[in-house]
């Protein structure tokens, strides 16, 4: 059986950790290969000895981490090395990078060490390719996934949208400041905004909410599904979002998702409702539309369960890199039902 080691340097609760839980636990992923999750110290991925046929990096690329990646390449010179890019995207670069030339050099140097670079969304892949950050032929798109069973089991909301949820770390990235400003412009006293999470921006967000009785701060929760079940719709006003797992969960729970049109949130086929532009007025009119609309007006998804995209992506990649040892054939993957 093919042995894959997935290296991770950030074990905080978040999208990457939950994706790796899926990889490690999903029975169909187990058909493809034996997956082992290996936490490694930041910038020293070779500090933990790894026995594997393929090594997958879920690490965050940085100048400081580059020597570690070179050592990793040297240590595994005989095995395919894959990098999954969870962090960087066009939206990230727009919002954070002050020296764009230096940033592109870093990514080119780092990606050149890998046999394949996996983008988590079509939009991110388009960016990596257009900016010539990844060599042609080395780029693959595999959208991440989490265990969606609990979300699918959730009762679909009915009636008009009254309770809007926003889930995530209270960080500039998530754009909850914009959401609160827009929400406060809605006159309807029966609407609720539930901000689910915690983080460095909490004080700023509370000040913006200004004790509007319709806005609730629920605090951090280890069980996002329970919180999601209390919401009729989800808002994701993110300033950047390479993929956006919350959107996937909300769609599995049949909640409409109002989102900014950045990065992976703009990918077609996800059934999301991108807001025209990042302005307050656009968000206000989108919220007015959402709270006045029936749930039946949701945009359609491509109809396939999210797991299938992830499984098919890994199957295709592994078949290229280790044609003789890869597990399930495409037919086996395709018969999987939601």
Partner 1 sequence: MPKASVIVPAYNVAATLGETLRALLDQTYGDFEIVVVDDGSSDRTAAIARGFGDPRIRLVQQPNRGLAGARNSGIHAARGDFIGFCDADDLWRPTKLADHVAHLEAHPHVGLSFSGSELIDEAGHPTGLAQRPRLRGITPAHIFRRNPVGNGSAPVLRRAALEAIAFRPAGEERRDWWFDERFRQSEDIECWLRLALSTDWEIEGIPGLLTRYRVASGGLSAGVERQYASWEAMVAKLTPLAPEFIARHAPAARAYQHRYLARRAISAGDRPQALARLAACFAASPRPLLEEPVKTLSTLAAGLVLATCGPRAIDRLRGLAARRPAPRRPA
Binding-site ranges for partner 1 (CB under 8 A)? 90-91, 93-95, 97-98, 100, 104, 127, 130-132, 172, 175, 177-178, 181, 239, 261-262, 276-282, 285-286, 289
- Least distance (Å) from partner 1 to the CB of residue 50? 34
- Least distance (Å) from partner 1 to the CB of residue 9? 24
Q: Residue 99 or residue 331: which is nearer to partner 1 going by CB?
A: 99
* Best CA proximity match to 214, nearest among 228, 232, 193, 187: 193
Per-residue tokens: 160: 């008009």
Q: Residue 33 or residue 215: which is nearer to partner 1 going by CB?
A: 215
Q: Residue 281 or residue 320: which is nearer to partner 1 going by CB?
A: 281
Q: Residue 120 or residue 228: which is nearer to partner 1 going by CB?
A: 120
- Least distance (Å) from partner 1 to the CB of residue 212? 17
- Least distance (Å) from partner 1 to the CB of residue 338? 32
* Best CA proximity match to 298, nearest among 263, 258, 338, 268: 258
- Least distance (Å) from partner 1 to the CB of residue 187? 17
- Least distance (Å) from partner 1 to the CB of residue 277? 4
Only one residue has tokens 């999750």, namely: 37
How many helices and strands, by DSSP H and E, does the chain display? Answer: 14, 12
149-187 in b/e form (b: 16+ CB < 10 A) is: ebbeebeebeeebebbbbbbbbebbbbbbbbbebbbeee
Q: Residue 177 or residue 249: which is nearer to partner 1 going by CB?
A: 177
* Best CA proximity match to 141, nearest among 55, 263, 33: 263
Taking the C-alpha atoms of residue 37 and residue 270, their distance in angstroms, rounded to an integer, is 28
Q: Residue 38 or residue 119: which is nearer to partner 1 going by CB?
A: 119
Q: What is the DSSP string of 245-310?
A: HHHHHHHHTT--EEEE--GGGG-TTB--EEESSSSHHHHHHHHHHHHHS-GGGPPPB-SS-HHHHH
Q: Residue 266 or residue 327: which is nearer to partner 1 going by CB?
A: 266
- Least distance (Å) from partner 1 to the CB of residue 236? 15
- Least distance (Å) from partner 1 to the CB of residue 87? 14
Taking the C-alpha atoms of residue 236 and residue 334, their distance in angstroms, rounded to an integer, is 31
Q: Residue 19 or residue 88: which is nearer to partner 1 going by CB?
A: 88
């Amino acid at each position: 059986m093919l042995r894959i080691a997935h290296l991770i340097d950030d074990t905080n609760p978040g999208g990457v950790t939950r994706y790796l839980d899926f990889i490690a636990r999903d029975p169909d992923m187990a058909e493809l290969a034996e997956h082992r999750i290996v936490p490694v110290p930041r910038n020293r991925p070779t500090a933990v000895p790894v026995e594997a046929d393929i090594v997958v990096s879920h690490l965050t690329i940085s100048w400081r981490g580059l020597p570690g990646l070179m050592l990793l390449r040297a240590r595994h010179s005989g095995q395919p090395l894959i990098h999954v890019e969870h962090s960087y995207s066009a939206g990230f670069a727009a919002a954070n990078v002050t020296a764009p030339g230096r940033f592109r050099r870093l990514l080119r140097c780092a990606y050149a060490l890998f046999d394949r670079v996996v983008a988590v969304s079509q939009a991110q892949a388009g960016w990596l390719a257009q900016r010539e950050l990844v060599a042609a032929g080395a780029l693959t798109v595999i959208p991440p996934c989490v265990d969606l069973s609990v979300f699918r089991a959730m009762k679909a909301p009915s009636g008009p949208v009254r309770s809007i949820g926003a889930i995530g770390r209270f960080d500039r990235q998530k754009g909850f400041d914009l959401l609160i400003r827009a929400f406060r412009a809605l006159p309807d006293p029966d609407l609720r905004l539930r901000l689910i999470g915690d983080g460095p921006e909490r004080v700023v967000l509370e000040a913006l909410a200004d004790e509007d009785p319709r806005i609730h701060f629920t605090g951090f929760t280890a069980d996002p599904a329970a919180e999601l079940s209390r919401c009729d719709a989800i808002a994701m006003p993110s300033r950047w979002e390479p993929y956006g797992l919350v959107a996937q969960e909300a769609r599995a729970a049949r909640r409409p998702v109002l989102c900014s049109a950045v990065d992976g949130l703009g990918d077609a086929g996800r059934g999301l409702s991108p807001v025209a532009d990042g302005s307050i007025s656009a968000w206000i009119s989108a919220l007015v539309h959402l709270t006045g609309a029936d749930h039946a007006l949701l945009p359609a998804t491509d109809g396939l369960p999210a797991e299938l995209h992830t499984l098919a992506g890994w199957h295709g990649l592994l078949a290229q890199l280790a044609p003789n040892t890869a597990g399930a054939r495409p037919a086996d993957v395709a018969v999987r039902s939601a």
